[in-house]
């Protein structure tokens, strides 16, 4: 026998038969050798044969794996066992069988069932005459022939062959039933069942008493190897909507919605080696509200679908990519890129000068057709564009705490095959209906960054907040930028335009995405960033708080988002993040009109937890004279299985609770999660004023 000799112990005295070299232990008997332990009511060990017989409440443990049986025979040289009436598994999987044999790493189980979660009258399980459990370098998996899937004792699906890796999600089953004034009584279901170890297939299958039946396939796929990885998901649905024209209503462009409605949602990510990545996202909807009506959970996360595909390759200090954006939906205005080829040279040193430079080069075919959304609008623009940017910078350390970085850059853009059919109402200045087919533009950038940094440490200790020492880092900065005046922008059929965005404007010329509407810029941005940290219990530091201030001083005034002229002291931004303990988080982002110190925008988020008992979240969003909204989320644990859920949306401008949802969440065994909820809405465009839902989820099945 290899390795150390086994150690046998028990409550009662050991019995030893010298002639047969047999040891017998009774009463909480235990046999330990190497990394294996066997416990049972009785253990008999035959020294000559390295053989163990165990009976009564047998448990064998090895390298974190555990098997329970009524009786067990174990040969310790080869680690081979045979067992009867056994149970084993690793959360969330549980396996039971009539008999089994093999090794801990490779076991065959007869008359077996694999449960998702602990066995109960409502458990999801799959059974077979024989299940094989294998633990290899690639992972643990279960394989079987003739697999029958059950909920409780009721069979609902069969596969002639099935393999499942225990690290993968096995099933997805979501059921949502309820009533709505718009949809009537409804039953929504989404299922995903394992087809192979790489693929889960299922369906969206819904019934609406006022609208009819919606159906479509679903799929998820995952593949991993040493050279590549693939992950993706597909969700579809189609319905012949039986609602009348008033119930179907109109879409986002005020057009009557047709009765034939459908959607397709596809996401895909593919990594090949460490350098090549392919990404795709497709959302094909029959109308702007099909997802809102029949899959509101998707609509909450994706109200304006984006359809694109990208292939990128990362070199040592460069990236080349091809990106396409498409317009399959007729209710959206999309700047189609067919495609954009782009090369990015990452910052690299310029010989031994201490300077760094970077560059980008891109070619894109752009098209935008307003008429495809609104037949009465004939505005259409298109062109081919070559865009080249270059920037160099030279960090100069003036002191240990102060760095000056002068910089200079240029952006050279060439437009070809440029045309626009008529005037576009979205352009800020008149455009001639006839543009030169070819147009060149040059913009130059000058500026500098002056940055300081300092820190102080304090011997602060607070056990309640988990503070072990306090470090304060402060980083003041002054950033100056000047862009030269572009040539006549009215000679560009602007497609990549300035969009409504209230975040701090980008400063670097090469980073701007509104390529066709870059205006002359001359500004200084002052900033002070503060970071407060303490020692982490595990390693490194933990951030307790961050407080940042930024101020823009404008020398070349342009138009604001509301049409007014920018002020000299344009905007002040204040940002605060607090996370002093795991149970408390707070963040704040605000923007002030500096000269009048008028609060123009405020966003806050607060999250408080009381252990496992309750959780409270409060978020606010204020945009001066436009938006003033508040949201409250609350979860309260009534007992270990039952929770109270509440979320409330309030609009201060109208003085109304726009949405109130109250629900109860409970667990059925360890497998299912059940949620009862009632939702009240005010002035909703499509949803009912009151709806009632019952949702059943397979816990952990995503």
What is the rounded CA–CA span in Å between residue 427 and residue 649?
Answer: 36
Residue 90: which domain range? 7-165
Q: How does the average pLDDT of the chain come out, rounded? A: 87
For residues 148 and 119, the answer to whether their CB atoms sit within 8 Å is no
What is the rounded CA–CA span in Å between residue 434 and residue 416?
Answer: 14
Radius of gyration of the chain (CA): 33
Does residue 34 lie within any of the structural domains? Answer: yes
Does residue 129 lie within any of the structural domains? Answer: yes
- Going by pLDDT thresholds of 50, 70 and 90, the confidence category of residue 616 is very high
User: 3-state SS of the chain: helix, strand, coil percent to 5?
Assistant: 5, 65, 30
pLDDT in tens, 15-46: 877 777 788 888 888 888 777 888 888 888 88
3-state SS string for 535-561: ECCCCCEEEEEEEEEEEEEECCCCECC
What is the rounded CA–CA span in Å between residue 131 and residue 135?
Answer: 13
> Measured over all CA atoms, what is the biggest interatomic distance in the chain, rounded to whole angstroms?
110
- Going by pLDDT thresholds of 50, 70 and 90, the confidence category of residue 429 is very low
**Could you tell me which residues are beta bridge partners of residue 249?**
none
Selected residue with higher pLDDT from 696 and 391: 391
Could you please report the per-residue DSSP string of 295-355? -HHHHHH-SS--EEEEEEEE-SSEEEEEEEEE---TT----EEEEEEEEEEEEEE-TTSS-
What is the rounded CA–CA span in Å between residue 484 and residue 456?
Answer: 41
List phi, psi (to 5°) of 464: -65, -40
What separation in angstroms does the CA of 307 have from each of 268, 287, 338? Answer: 12, 15, 12
- Going by pLDDT thresholds of 50, 70 and 90, the confidence category of residue 430 is very low
- Going by pLDDT thresholds of 50, 70 and 90, the confidence category of residue 61 is confident
Contacts of 287 (CB under 8 A, 6+ apart): 251, 257, 258, 261, 331
Contacts of 155 (CB under 8 A, 6+ apart): 148, 149
Whether residue 663 is predicted with pLDDT greater than 70 in this model: the reply is yes
Overall number of domains in the chain: 1
Does residue 97 lie within any of the structural domains? Answer: yes
Does residue 415 lie within any of the structural domains? Answer: no
List phi, psi (to 5°) of 105: -85, -15
- Going by pLDDT thresholds of 50, 70 and 90, the confidence category of residue 426 is very low
Mean pLDDT value of segment 185-211: 89
Quick one: pLDDT at residue 158? 83
What is the rounded CA–CA span in Å between residue 47 and residue 35?
Answer: 18
Contacts of 168 (CB under 8 A, 6+ apart): 197, 222
3-class secondary structure, 291: helix
Whether residue 452 is predicted with pLDDT greater than 90 in this model: the reply is yes
Does residue 455 lie within any of the structural domains? Answer: no
Quick one: pLDDT at residue 701? 55
Q: Percentage of the chain with pLDDT > 90?
A: 45
Does residue 38 lie within any of the structural domains? Answer: yes
Looking only at the bridges linking them, the beta strands covering 172-180 and 690-698 are antiparallel
Quick one: pLDDT at residue 628? 92
Degrees, nearest 5: CA angle 268-270-274: 150
Quick one: pLDDT at residue 648? 96
**Region of poorest pLDDT, from 259-268, 374-383, 441-450:** 374-383
Among residues 612, 587, 591, 613, the alpha carbon closest in space to that of 600 is found at 591
Quick one: pLDDT at residue 470? 92
Mean pLDDT value of segment 644-667: 93
Does residue 48 lie within any of the structural domains? Answer: yes
pLDDT in tens, 273-313: 999 999 999 999 999 999 999 998 888 888 889 999 999 99
DSSP state of 566: P
Selected residue with higher pLDDT from 92 and 341: 341
Q: What is the CATH number of the domain that holds 48?
A: 2.60.450.10
pLDDT in tens, 363-385: 999 988 776 555 555 567 888 99
pLDDT in tens, 496-521: 888 777 778 899 999 999 898 898 89
Selected residue with higher pLDDT from 207 and 431: 207
Quick one: pLDDT at residue 170? 66
DSSP state of 258: P
3-class secondary structure, 485: coil
Place of tokens 């039933």: 177
Selected residue with higher pLDDT from 329 and 625: 329
For residues 571 and 594, the answer to whether their CB atoms sit within 8 Å is yes
Q: What is the dihedral of CA 246, 249, 255, 257, to 10 degrees?
A: -100
Distance from first CA to last CA of the chain, Å, rounded? Answer: 46
Whether residue 146 is predicted with pLDDT greater than 80 in this model: the reply is yes
Quick one: pLDDT at residue 2? 42
Q: With residue 574 as reference, give the H or E element that holds it.
A: strand 569-581
- Going by pLDDT thresholds of 50, 70 and 90, the confidence category of residue 432 is very low
Contacts of 404 (CB under 8 A, 6+ apart): 395, 396, 398, 448, 449, 450
Quick one: pLDDT at residue 183? 92
Beta-carbon count within 10 A of 183 CB: 22
- Going by pLDDT thresholds of 50, 70 and 90, the confidence category of residue 434 is low
Does residue 584 lie within any of the structural domains? Answer: no
- Going by pLDDT thresholds of 50, 70 and 90, the confidence category of residue 5 is low
Whether residue 4 is predicted with pLDDT greater than 90 in this model: the reply is no
Whether residue 425 is predicted with pLDDT greater than 50 in this model: the reply is no
Quick one: pLDDT at residue 188? 94
3-class secondary structure, 250: strand
Quick one: pLDDT at residue 296? 86
């Amino acid at each position: 026998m290899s390795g150390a000799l086994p150690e046998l112990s028990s409550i009662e005295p050991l019995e030893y038969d010298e002639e047969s070299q047999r040891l017998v232990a009774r009463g909480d008997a235990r046999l330990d050798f190497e990394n294996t332990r066997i416990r049972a009511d009785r253990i008999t060990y035959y020294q000559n044969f390295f053989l163990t017989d165990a009976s009564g409440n047998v448990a064998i443990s090895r390298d974190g794996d555990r098997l329970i049986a009524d009786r067990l025979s174990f040969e310790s040289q080869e680690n081979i066992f045979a067992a009867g009436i056994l149970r084993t598994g690793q959360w969330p999987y549980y396996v039971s069988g009539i008999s089994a044999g093999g090794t801990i790493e490779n076991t065959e189980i007869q008359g077996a069932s694999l449960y998702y979660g602990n066995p109960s009258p409502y458990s999801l399980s799959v059974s077979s005459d024989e299940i094989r459990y294998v633990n290899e370098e690639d992972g643990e998996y279960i394989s079987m022939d003739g697999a029958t899937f059950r909920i409780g004792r009721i069979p609902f699906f069969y596969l002639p062959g099935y393999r499942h890796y225990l690290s993968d999600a096995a099933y997805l089953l979501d059921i949502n039933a309820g009533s709505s004034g718009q949809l009537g009584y409804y039953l929504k279901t989404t299922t995903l069942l394992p087809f192979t170890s790489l693929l889960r297939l299922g369906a969206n299958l819904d019934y609406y008493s006022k609208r009819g039946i919606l159906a479509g396939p679903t799929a998820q796929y995952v593949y991993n190897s040493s050279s590549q990885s693939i992950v993706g998901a597909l969700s579809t649905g189609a319905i012949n909507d039986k609602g009348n024209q008033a119930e179907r209503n109109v879409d986002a462009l005020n057009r009557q919605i047709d009765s034939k409605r459908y959607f397709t949602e596809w996401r895909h990510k593919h990594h090949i080696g460490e350098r090549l990545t392919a990404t795709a996202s497709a959302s094909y909807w029959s109308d702007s509200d099909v997802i809102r009506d029949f899959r509101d959970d998707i609509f909450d996360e994706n109200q304006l679908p984006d359809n694109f595909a990208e292939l990128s390759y990362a070199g040592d200090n460069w990236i080349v990519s091809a990106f396409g954006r498409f317009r399959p939906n007729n209710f959206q205005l999309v700047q189609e890129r067919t495609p954009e080829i782009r090369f990015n040279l990452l910052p690299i040193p310029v010989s031994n000068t201490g300077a760094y430079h970077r560059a980008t080069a891109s070619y894109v075919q752009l098209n935008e057709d307003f008429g495809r959304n609104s037949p009465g609008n004939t505005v259409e623009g298109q062109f081919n564009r070559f865009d080249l940017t270059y920037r160099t910078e030279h960090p100069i350390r003036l002191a240990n705490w102060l760095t000056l970085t002068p910089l200079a850059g240029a952006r050279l853009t060439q437009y070809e095959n440029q045309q626009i059919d008529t005037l576009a109402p979205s352009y800020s200045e008149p455009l001639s209906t006839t543009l030169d087919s070819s147009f060149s533009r040059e913009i130059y950038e000058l500026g500098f960054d002056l940055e300081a940094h300092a820190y102080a440490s304090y011997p602060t200790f607070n056990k309640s907040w988990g503070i072990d020492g306090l470090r304060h880092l402060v980083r003041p900065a002054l950033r100056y930028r000047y862009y030269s005046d572009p040539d006549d922008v009215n000679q560009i059929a602007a497609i990549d335009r300035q969009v409504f965005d209230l975040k701090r404007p980008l400063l670097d010329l090469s980073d701007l995405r509104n390529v066709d509407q870059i205006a002359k810029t001359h500004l200084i941005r002052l900033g002070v960033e503060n970071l407060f940290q303490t020692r982490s219990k595990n390693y490194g530091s933990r951030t307790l708080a961050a407080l940042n201030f930024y101020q823009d001083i404008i020398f070349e005034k342009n138009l604001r988002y509301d049409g007014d002229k920018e002020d000299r002291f344009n905007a002040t931004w204040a940002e605060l993040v607090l996370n002093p303990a795991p149970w408390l988080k707070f963040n704040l982002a605000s923007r002030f009109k500096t000269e009048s110190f008028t609060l123009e925008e405020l966003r806050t988020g607060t999250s408080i937890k009381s252990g496992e008992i309750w959780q409270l979240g409060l978020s606010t969003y204020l945009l001066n004279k436009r938006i003033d909204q508040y949201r409250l989320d609350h979860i309260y644990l009534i007992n270990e299985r039952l929770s109270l859920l509440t979320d409330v949306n309030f609009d201060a401008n109208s003085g109304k609770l726009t949405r109130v949802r109250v629900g109860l969440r409970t667990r059925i065994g360890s497998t299912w999660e059940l949620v009862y909820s009632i939702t009240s809405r005010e002035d909703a465009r499509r949803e009912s004023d009151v709806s009632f839902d019952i949702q059943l989820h397979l816990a952990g099945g995503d």
